[in-house]
C-alpha cells in the first residue's frame, strides 16, 4: 500500500490507494509514473453551488444570485472578490431580466392568437442573457479564478423542491498537478 498526495496544499488530506487503484491511476514509460487527470479529479472536492435568490424566475434563470460567501471557499478566494463577481452577474441580470419579463407577459397575452409563436422573443432574449452571463464568467475565470484553481460556470440543475430546472453558478475546484511528486 502506498500513500498518494495529489494536492496536499489544497486538500490537507492523505489518500491511501490499493495496488489495483494505484496501477489504474498511474501509467508511464520506462518505469516512470504519471498521474492521470481522471485520478486527480476523483479526489477534487465537490463543487460549490450558488443558487438563485431572487423572487422572479424566467425559464429557470433567477433575477439575482445569492451573494453570501460560502464557507467552503475560505482561504481560496477573498470574500470581497466573490461579492464583486456575484455583483457583476447580478448587474447583468438586473439589466436584462426586466425586458424578458415584459416580453413574457406580452407573449402570454398573445399566445392563443399566435399559436405560441409570441413566446419566441422571450426564449431568444433569455438565451442571450445566459450567453452574456457565461461570457462574464469566462472573463472572471481568465482574469482571476483560474489562477486561484477555481472555475465558475453557469449550469442547469434540478430544483431541490420540484422537478423544474434552474440555472445555478457552479464553482469547481481545478486539480493541481503534483509535479514535484517523487517516482
pLDDT for residue 21 is more than 50: no
How much is the pLDDT for 42? Answer: 59
pLDDT on residue 13: 42
With a cut of 90, say whether residue 131 has pLDDT above it: yes
**Does the global pTM surpass 0.85?**
no
- Cα separation of 71 and 75, whole Å? 9
Residue 168, Cβ density class (10 Å: 0-12 exposed, 13-18 middle, ≥19 buried)? buried
Label residue 37 by pLDDT band (50, 70, 90): low
C-alpha cell at 85: 463577481
Average pLDDT of every residue of the chain = 78
CA contacts within 13 A on the Cβ side of 153: 10
Alpha-carbon distances of 95 from 98, 127, 135, 143, rounded to whole Å: 7, 14, 15, 23
Higher-confidence position of 26 and 106: 106
Q: What is the pLDDT of residues 79-128, one digit of tens each?
A: 999 999 999 999 999 998 888 888 888 888 887 787 778 888 888 888 99
- How does DSSP classify residue 63? S
Q: Does the pLDDT at position 75 exceed 60?
A: yes
Is the model more confident about 8 or about 175?
175
> How far apart (Å, rounded) are the C-alpha atoms in residues 16 and 74?
26
**Residue 14 or 134, more confident:** 134
Amino acid at each position: 500500500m502506498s500513500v498518494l498526495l495529489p494536492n496536499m496544499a489544497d486538500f490537507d488530506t492523505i489518500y491511501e490507494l490499493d495496488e489495483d487503484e494505484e496501477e489504474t491511476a498511474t501509467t508511464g514509460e520506462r518505469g516512470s509514473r504519471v498521474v492521470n487527470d481522471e485520478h486527480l479529479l476523483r479526489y477534487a472536492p465537490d463543487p460549490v453551488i450558488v443558487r438563485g435568490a431572487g423572487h422572479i424566475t424566467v425559464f429557470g434563470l433567477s433575477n439575482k444570485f445569492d451573494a453570501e460567501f460560502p464557507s467552503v471557499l475560505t482561504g481560496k478566494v477573498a470574500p470581497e472578490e466573490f461579492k464583486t463577481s456575484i455583483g457583476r452577474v447580478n448587474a447583468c441580470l438586473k439589466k436584462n431580466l426586466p425586458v424578458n419579463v415584459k416580453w413574457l407577459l406580452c407573449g402570454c397575452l398573445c399566445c392563443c392568437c399566435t399559436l405560441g409563436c409570441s413566446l419566441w422573443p422571450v426564449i431568444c432574449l433569455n438565451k442571450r442573457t445566459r450567453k452574456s452571463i457565461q461570457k462574464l464568467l469566462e472573463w472572471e475565470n481568465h482574469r482571476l479564478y483560474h489562477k486561484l484553481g477555481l472555475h465558475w460556470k453557469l449550469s442547469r440543475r434540478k430544483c431541490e423542491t420540484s422537478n423544474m430546472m434552474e440555472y445555478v453558478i457552479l464553482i469547481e475546484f481545478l486539480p493541481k498537478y503534483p509535479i514535484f511528486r517523487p517516482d
